[in-house]
Amino acid sequence: MTDNRQKLRQARRWVIKIGSALLTANGQGLDQAAMKSWVAQMAALAQQGIELVLVSSGAVAEGMVRMGLNGRPESLHDLQACAAIGQMGLVQAYESHFREFNCKTAQILLTHEDLADRQRYLNARSTLTTLIDWRVIPVINENDTVATDEIRFGDNDTLAALVANLVEAEILVILTDQEGMFDRDPRYNADAALLPEVRAMDESLFAMAGGGGALGRGGMITKVRAARFAARSGCATVIASGQSPQVLQRLAMGESLGTLLLPDDDRFTARKQWLAAHLQTAGKVILDAGAVKALVEQGRSLLPVGIKAVEGQFGRGEVIACMDEQGKQIAVGLINYSAEEVEKIKGQSSEQISVLLGYMSDEELIHRDNIAFM
């Protein structure tokens, strides 16, 4: 076992993506036996304390079967209608399979726009982290009904990577119909060789990655792109075959299955770099000495009680500067409340947030995961 595979054994938060090509048994409708096997494996992982988020395709393919269509519809509206029909079968199948293992599930439909908008990004993140904390397994797909041509992910590989960033997963597992990524498309090259471990940021991967099959959409190109996205938050990606017996269990044991695409930076460095890149902050909060100490020395979240003053206009989800009372900038962070709201709750305990604002979205102003020090 390589050191990097060994590291996967310690990964606590996983995003697992299952593609259409795999789920729908060559266009014959949902492959219930295969779904049951993945669900059994996921239930066992959850039992071991691994936090899971599932991104599953298959809505369009299942909708096509339900409507008796032989080929993927051309028109956007027909595709959207098929997705709406098929999504019912998809979540129903997951719900009933997971229920057999006493696992609760939740359906989340997302668009690219949802994650590009900071407010909605934070809302999606809060919902997902709440579900994870409650040990409920979110089952995510693209919200095909409202997604139009330009804003469609078009493939769920990208969506899965964005979700991995959103929940700060340590590993993204992309299950597909091949053993992993090969140096050429194995569908057309019998002597293609499997790549066991690569750097996600290696540009030469694009030349080796081809497009997808009839049911799947993106092929290997979107999987490489997804691994690069995931790497931005320090998340490693594994591309493996969903048909390999006990694939998830074996990956969790550190077995060298499929292709491991490694990030260049670990998750904390990546997150810090992302936040630190936001040199243009939307405003400032001035912290008292106790809050500075809690953040810097104890790695805590920033609470309203530690705020002395607010400067500038900012909205929920913007990056702001955290200053000490001497005017020195100590950190930047993604704030959960607007400047107006912080003005009302500054110096108060978190219990007062709902009293003063009439609602409470988060008990901390800036979560410790969203703080980068200077």
Ligand X SMILES: N[C@@H](CCC(=O)OP(=O)(O)O)C(=O)O
Which residues of this protein are in contact with ligand ADP, per CB under 6 A? 19-22, 57, 176-178, 181-182, 184-187, 208-210, 212-213, 216-220
Nearer to ligand X, 214 or 253 (CB): 214
Please count the other Cβ atoms lying within 10 Å of the Cβ belonging to residue 325. 13
Cα 92 to Cα 24: distance, rounded to the nearest angstrom: 15
Task: Judge whether 156 is annotated as a binding position.
Answer: yes
Task: Judge whether 17 is annotated as a binding position.
Answer: yes
Cα 236 to Cα 86: distance, rounded to the nearest angstrom: 31
Residue 79 touches which of ligand X, ligand ADP, none (Cβ within 5-8 Å per kind): none
Task: Judge whether 269 is annotated as a binding position.
Answer: no
Task: Judge whether 177 is annotated as a binding position.
Answer: yes
CB of 242 to ligand X, least distance (A): 11
Rounded CA Rg of the chain: 22
CB of 195 to ligand ADP, least distance (A): 8
Cα 113 to Cα 283: distance, rounded to the nearest angstrom: 24
Identified binder of ligand X from the candidate list 31, 51, 114, 155, rule CB under 6 A: 155
Cα 206 to Cα 220: distance, rounded to the nearest angstrom: 9
Nearer to ligand ADP, 160 or 335 (CB): 160
Q: Would you say 93 and 30 are in contact if contact means Cβ atoms under 8 Å apart?
A: yes
Stretch that binds ligand X, among 91-99, 152-160, 259-267, 288-296 (CB under 6 A): 152-160
CB of 21 to ligand X, least distance (A): 6
Task: Judge whether 127 is annotated as a binding position.
Answer: no
Residue 229 touches which of ligand X, ligand ADP, none (Cβ within 5-8 Å per kind): none
Residue 315 touches which of ligand X, ligand ADP, none (Cβ within 5-8 Å per kind): none
Task: Using DSSP, state whether 356 is helix, strand or coil.
Answer: helix
Q: Would you say 12 and 53 are in contact if contact means Cβ atoms under 8 Å apart?
A: no
In one-letter notation, the amino acid at residue 157 is: D
Q: Does 370 bind ligand X (CB under 6 A)?
A: no
Cα 109 to Cα 146: distance, rounded to the nearest angstrom: 10
DSSP state of 247: H
Q: Does 41 bind ligand X (CB under 6 A)?
A: no
Cα 226 to Cα 39: distance, rounded to the nearest angstrom: 23
Share in percent of the chain as helix, strand, coil (round to 5): 40, 20, 40
CB of 7 to ligand ADP, least distance (A): 24
Residue 141 touches which of ligand X, ligand ADP, none (Cβ within 5-8 Å per kind): ligand X
CB of 206 to ligand X, least distance (A): 17
The sheet with strand 197-199 has its strands ordered as 104-110, 136-142, 51-56, 13-18, 171-176, 236-241, 259-262, 197-199
x-marked contacts with ligand X along 6-25 as a string, rule CB under 6 A: -------------xxx----
What residues have CB less than 8 Å from 104, skipping those under 6 apart?
98, 134, 135, 136, 137
Q: What is the dihedral angle through the alpha carbons of 200, 245, 252, 225, rounded to the nearest 10 degrees?
A: 20
Interface with ligand X: number of residues (CB under 6 A): 19
Residue 182 touches which of ligand X, ligand ADP, none (Cβ within 5-8 Å per kind): ligand ADP
x-marked contacts with ligand X along 81-120 as a string, rule CB under 6 A: --x-------------------------------------
Q: Does 58 bind ligand X (CB under 6 A)?
A: yes
CB of 194 to ligand X, least distance (A): 20
Task: Judge whether 31 is annotated as a binding position.
Answer: no
CB of 281 to ligand ADP, least distance (A): 39
The sheet with strand 307-311 has its strands ordered as 307-311, 284-287, 319-323, 329-334, 371-373
Residues 203-242 that bind ligand X (CB under 6 A): 212, 216-218
Q: Contact residues for ligand X (CB under 6 A)?
A: 19-21, 57-61, 83, 141-142, 144, 155-157, 212, 216-218
Residues placed in the known binding site for substrate:
57, 144, 156
Residues placed in the known binding site for ATP:
17, 176-177
